[in-house]
């Protein structure tokens, strides 16, 4: 990763960004910058909106509850979102928050909730999911906010993937025990295809679901080792493996 200013706070904003743009702080942003981080007049803050790259702004405080940012200069051009789809069965809220944040930190560019036979609860709060992706993007330095797609049932979610996208199916019963070997045999690491990852719910996939997933062409069943991982742990493990063998950790 290029040299990066980890000391300056980093905020996502909705407004367009240009030299001299004034960005009024909302209450939460003002509290975060002025009280939690105790930043003051003229302190630098990095801002991005997912469209205009990253900008250095400076803080103008109006007491400890109000203030604004003044955009100074663009320091990074806008980057394309990562082309890595993460398909997951919804979990209970705290673990889902964790899963979404870690998936974004590990490089997922699209999050797709998938409803399966044993998914617990089929309602998902997309605003909360998006808030978690924004928080993770602020913290990990990416410039494009990952897409949060609406939930689909498993067959529709698989049908929505382009045929050329390699589906990495996290499967405790994968025939090859070595995940690095399974990934290297499924695709040429020198020319990796677009990728999608699928992780199941707490109750796992049903046998019929497993068969349907395995029957999809361009799908690799991946073991994550000899222990059964929680779905949120599996998220971090599979993304580390996939990014190391076929993705952007090389």
The closest alpha carbon to 8, from 129, 139, 202, belongs to: 139
| Interface with ligand SAM: number of residues (CB under 6 A) | 18
Using Cβ positions, the residue closest to ligand SAM within the complex turns out to be 200
Sign of CA dihedral 81, 86, 92, 96: negative
**How many C-beta atoms surround the C-beta of residue 180 within 10 A?**
13
Listed ranges 28-36, 54-62, 153-161, 201-209: which one lies at the site for ligand SAM (CB under 6 A): 201-209
Listed ranges 51-59, 146-154, 167-175, 181-189: which one lies at the site for ligand SAM (CB under 6 A): 167-175
Comparing CB distances to ligand SAM, the nearer of 144 and 240 is: 240
172 binds ligand SAM (CB under 6 A): yes
Comparing CB distances to ligand SAM, the nearer of 7 and 227 is: 227
β-strands 147-148, 110-115: how paired?
Answer: parallel
β-strands 195-199, 84-88: how paired?
Answer: parallel
The contact pattern for ligand SAM, residues 224-243, with x = CB under 6 A and - = no contact, is xx-xxxxx--x---------
| Backbone torsions φ then ψ of 215, nearest 5 degrees | -75, -15
**How many C-beta atoms surround the C-beta of residue 191 within 10 A?**
7
187: helix, strand or coil = coil
The contact pattern for ligand SAM, residues 85-124, with x = CB under 6 A and - = no contact, is ----------------------------------------
Listed ranges 48-56, 59-67, 95-103, 197-205: which one lies at the site for ligand SAM (CB under 6 A): 197-205
Euclidean distance between CA atoms 176 and 241, whole angstroms? 14
List contacts with ligand SAM (CB under 6 A): 170-172, 199-200, 202-205, 223-225, 227-231, 234
């Amino acid at each position: 990763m290029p040299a990066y200013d980890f000391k300056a706070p980093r905020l996502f904003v909705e407004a367009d960004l240009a030299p001299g743009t004034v960005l009024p702080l909302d209450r939460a942003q003002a509290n975060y910058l002025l009280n939690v981080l105790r930043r003051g007049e003229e302190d630098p803050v990095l801002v991005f909106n997912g469209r205009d790259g990253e900008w250095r702004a400076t803080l103008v405080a109006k007491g400890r509850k109000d203030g604004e940012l003044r955009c100074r200069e663009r320091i990074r051009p806008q980057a394309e979102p990562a082309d890595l789809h993460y398909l997951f069965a919804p979990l209970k809220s705290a673990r889902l928050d964790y899963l979404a944040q870690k998936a974004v930190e590990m490089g997922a560019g699209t999050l797709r909730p998938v409803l399966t036979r044993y998914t617990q609860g089929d309602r998902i709060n997309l605003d909360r999911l998006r808030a978690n992706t924004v928080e993770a993007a602020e913290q990990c330095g990416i410039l494009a906010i990952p897409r949060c797609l609406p939930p689909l049932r498993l067959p529709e979610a698989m049908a929505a993937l382009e045929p050329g996208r390699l589906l990495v199916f996290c499967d405790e019963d994968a025939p090859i025990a070595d995940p690095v070997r399974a990934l290297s045999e499924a695709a040429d690491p020198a020319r990796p295809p677009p990728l999608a990852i699928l992780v199941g719910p707490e109750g796992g996939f049903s046998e019929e679901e497993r068969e349907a997933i395995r029957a999809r062409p361009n799908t690799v069943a991946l073991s994550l080792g000899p222990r059964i991982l929680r779905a949120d742990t599996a998220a971090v493990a599979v993304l580390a493996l996939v990014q190391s063998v076929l993705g952007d950790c090389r």
